[in-house]
Amino acid sequence: MDGPRRVNYNRRLPNDETPAPLTRRNAFYAQSGGVTAVINASACGVIQTARQHKRSIGRVYAGRNGIIGALTEDLIDTGRESSRAIAALMHTPAGAFGSCRYKLAGIDRDKAQYERLLDVFRAHDIGYFFYNGGNDSADTCLKVSQMAARLDYPLIAVHVPKTVDNDLAVTDCCPGFGSVAKYVATSMREAAFDVASMAKTSTRVFVLEVMGRNAGWITAAVGLADDADTPIPLLLLFPEIAFDEAKFLARLDAKVVQFGYCCVGVSEGLRDSQGKLLAEAGTKDAFGHAQLGGVGPMIAALVKEKLGHKYHWAVADYLQRAARHLASKTDLEQAYAVGRAAVELAVRGKSAVMPAIVRTSDKPYRWKIEAAPLDKVANVEKKLPRDYISADGYGITAKARAYLSPLTRGEAFPPFRDGLPQYVRLKNVAVAKKLAKSFSV
């Protein structure tokens, strides 16, 4: 078995001291940051499990476009969705309720934002806060929990992990990553077959740019395309390894001479020896991160200019995180599991925590869920370990394969009709506003 077919979500999590039952109150759920092929499975886990805890949780409201929905009192009543529609979230990509990139300032810098959140929560009797996202979302969830404690508002805040970058601390892996890993490895393998067919008289170098600003987990996953049964001349360019132009070009040219062609997987966050991003566009996003743009075509153009090899390049971009048709079954199961575990933790009174995935075995692959303190997760970035990268800096090691391979296993195809996948679009009925004062973001 590649993973557990059944997980006992009703058992107590480690170190769980179940408090007295809480007063029945409503819950708020929102999606944040870049969406994934399986983030809606986490939403499904949260909503379905909350519906099973009617003694503790009343209605489940979703924030339209993440935390912005809470600030602007733009709430969605998930109770207006049928059980069938909620179940269909399991095979639907992207964010069913809308996501956002919006950073809450520290409470001492912008107290008005937090007071507004409290006003909205109080108006709608929200006692549970579930925030589904990556590093910046963990920070938001922690701030909200701290705000509630500081302002003496009874709120249970639980972070639901998600990020294709796979860079959250504590958890073994992040829901969303396994499916991206499966997509980029498959895409590189298929492209390599194409290039090999044409290399004699046409393209000799193919470059695939993948996501990963500071951590090379997705780049490493590209390396799964090349294995003993399907050897591919492949070079990987990681953000953890400074780019050496001369060394790279020599290695690539040697592979073209030996095999007739070469493929390259490159992280969008590739840096030079001075630590400067090769593809920094000069702008910043809402969290202050540099906007990146096009390291793939830059590498391809360099190959053409210095070596004269004909090339093609592709940027996986949104395709890698939206490809629900090729999602990993393991990833899907884990995405649902963290959503469900988040609710189980919350109804036991656990706040400022995150359900983390703990690997208990590589062969066979086994995992479980444990609660992780959110202050150990927020603002901590987990990079690709050096021993996952080959000694020459251009490939992955056996240790990396042992870690990566189980996360891509299993197929969980969506339903198809007339040859195309069928996804659900929720009604997303708005909750009537109760506050007279509006709030702009």
The band of 292, judged by pLDDT with boundaries at 50, 70 and 90, is low
Most confidently modeled range among 211-215, 294-298, 421-425: 421-425
pLDDT confidence of residue 294: 86
pLDDT confidence of residue 396: 98
pLDDT confidence of residue 89: 98
The tens digit of pLDDT for each residue in 5-46 reads 333 433 344 444 444 345 799 999 999 999 999 999 999 999
Total number of residues shown for the chain: 441
pLDDT confidence of residue 290: 52
- Residue 165 among the catalytic residues: yes
Chain-centre distance for alpha carbon 324: 13
pLDDT above 90 for 110: no
pLDDT above 90 for 202: yes
pLDDT above 90 for 186: yes
- CA–CA separation, 441 and 435 (whole Å): 16
The tens digit of pLDDT for each residue in 68-105 reads 999 999 999 999 999 999 999 999 999 999 999 888 88
The band of 293, judged by pLDDT with boundaries at 50, 70 and 90, is low
- CA–CA separation, 45 and 38 (whole Å): 11
pLDDT confidence of residue 382: 95
- Please state the rounded mean pLDDT for residues 117-143: 94
Which of 74, 165, 167, 226 is labelled catalytic? 165
Q: Which residues pair with 205 in a beta bridge?
A: 262, 311
Burial class (CB in 10 A: 0-12, 13-18, 19+), 171: buried
140: nearest Cα among 20, 28, 229? 28
- CA–CA separation, 265 and 223 (whole Å): 8
Those residues with Cβ within 8 angstroms of residue 112's Cβ, 6 or more apart along the chain or in another chain:
none
140: nearest Cα among 354, 347, 433? 354
Q: For the sheet with 57-63, list strands across it.
A: 75-77, 57-63, 25-31, 126-133, 156-161, 353-361, 366-373
Q: Is the peptide bond before 406 cis (omega within 30 degrees of 0)?
A: no
How far from each other are the two terminal CA atoms of the chain, in whole angstroms? 48
What structural domains does the chain harbor? 25-163+327-380 (3.40.50.450), 177-322 (3.40.50.460)
Contact 27, 63 (CB under 8 A): no
